[in-house]
Amino acid sequence: MATTMDKIFLRLRNLDAYPKINEDFYSRTLSGGVITIVSAAVMLFLLFSELSLYLYTVTETKLLVDTSRGETLHINFDVTFPAVRCSILSLDAMDISGEQHLDIRHNIVKKRIDASGNVIESRPDGIGAPKIERPLQRHGGRLEHNEQYCGSCFGAEELQSDDQCCNSCEEVREAYKKKGWALSNMDLIDQCKREGFIQRVKDEDGEGCNIHGSLEVNKVAGNFHFATGKSFHQATIFLADLLAFQDNHNISHRINKLSFGDNFPGLVNPLDGAEWVQGTSHGMYQYFIKVVPTIYTDIRGRVIYSNQYSVTEHFKSSEFGAVPGVFFFYDINPIKVSFKEEHVPFLHFLTNLCAIIGGIFTVAGIVDSSIYYGQRTIKKKMEIGKFG
């Protein structure tokens, strides 16, 4: 039995690709020591480099066709108008599907600011006096005991009847908007005078406005805009209810923030901090934005659905029929970008370590052998007097 095992062990020893040399036959040299130190230093440097690369998070980028349907686009904005009063600044949004949101007030906050940029008042949109309790009676005169108040719409009733009531300045303006009419002289509207709306706007003379908030719109091409005065659409033409006391339309503005979706590492919004100062010409300032859907997956597997965008700018003078305002026209790119954080695979890291160690040992051995045998050859030739 022992003989059989000995034969097996002998055959295994014969397969040894790393034969051991007796220490008596070792020959240590100065050049070998220097090469050992240099190779060890290079090896440590490469090992630490590979380790840092393994621990460092790399981002893989892919381009995919955006096949999503029925999603919404979340728009975050923060814009300051140094020369536009909050009372006459309105926000509207619409898209190519025909959906319109006029004079948006939900999730919108306006801040009245003075000439120095200091905040005077901050509150949700709808800055103005409260609705009056006793509006102008349509027919005038004294009310009977059981009669309800019904304010006049000043000719903007939907039907030619006396059933419609406009009991506030806002309701009168809404009625005019539906008719496609503009309120050119609000001093004639009793509800507006009694609510103090006109006086309030006059009191804001010389002030500016900061408006910030968010919009939730369909994920299709469209636009949103900030206009001076209540705006509406009639026969697909943009109109504005410009107030009579507004003597100029200075739409100078600063975009403190504009993003489409949530923030993620490395996201750059080109319009953050952008500023435009109006010169002598009045008109419409336009931003044409190309929105690129983006998916970001961090190293923990958390997925962030957001968007990047690029932008071009254009100013259109009121001489060519442009309505004063700041317009943001956006279009959705059909290609989306996917970013994914990941580490270098461990097996790849292990393979690189083996390659570093083996490669340096091999190269160092070749260099050492070349120097050693080169020195021996030179020494022998010198001994026999053939060198030189």
SS3 for 152? coil
Structure tokens at 360: 């340096």
**Mean pLDDT computed over 297-317:** 92
Phi and psi (nearest 5°) for 179? -80, -20
Nearest to 249, CA basis, from 79, 80, 117, 81: 81
**Mean pLDDT computed over 329-339:** 94
Q: pLDDT value at position 238?
A: 43
Mark 217-253 as b/e (b = at least 16 C-beta within 10 Å).
Answer: bbbeebbbbbbbbbbbeeeeebbbbbbeebeebebbb
Q: pLDDT value at position 169?
A: 76
333: pLDDT confidence band, cut at 50, 70 and 90?
A: very high
Where do we find the tokens 């690029």?
310
331: pLDDT confidence band, cut at 50, 70 and 90?
A: very high
Phi and psi (nearest 5°) for 253? -155, 160
How does strand 253-260 pair with strand 72-81? Answer: antiparallel
Q: pLDDT value at position 246?
A: 44
**Mean pLDDT computed over 115-137:** 60
Question: What count of Cα atoms within 13 Å lies in the side-chain half-sphere of residue 85?
Answer: 22
Q: Is the pLDDT of residue 292 over 70?
A: yes
**pLDDT tens, 189-205?**
777 777 666 666 666 67
Spatial separation of the C-alpha atoms in residues 32 and 53, rounded to whole Å: 31
Question: For the chain, what percent of residues have pLDDT higher than 90?
Answer: 27
Nearest to 288, CA basis, from 322, 332, 330: 330
144: pLDDT confidence band, cut at 50, 70 and 90?
A: very low
Cβ(328)–Cβ(225) below 8 Å: yes
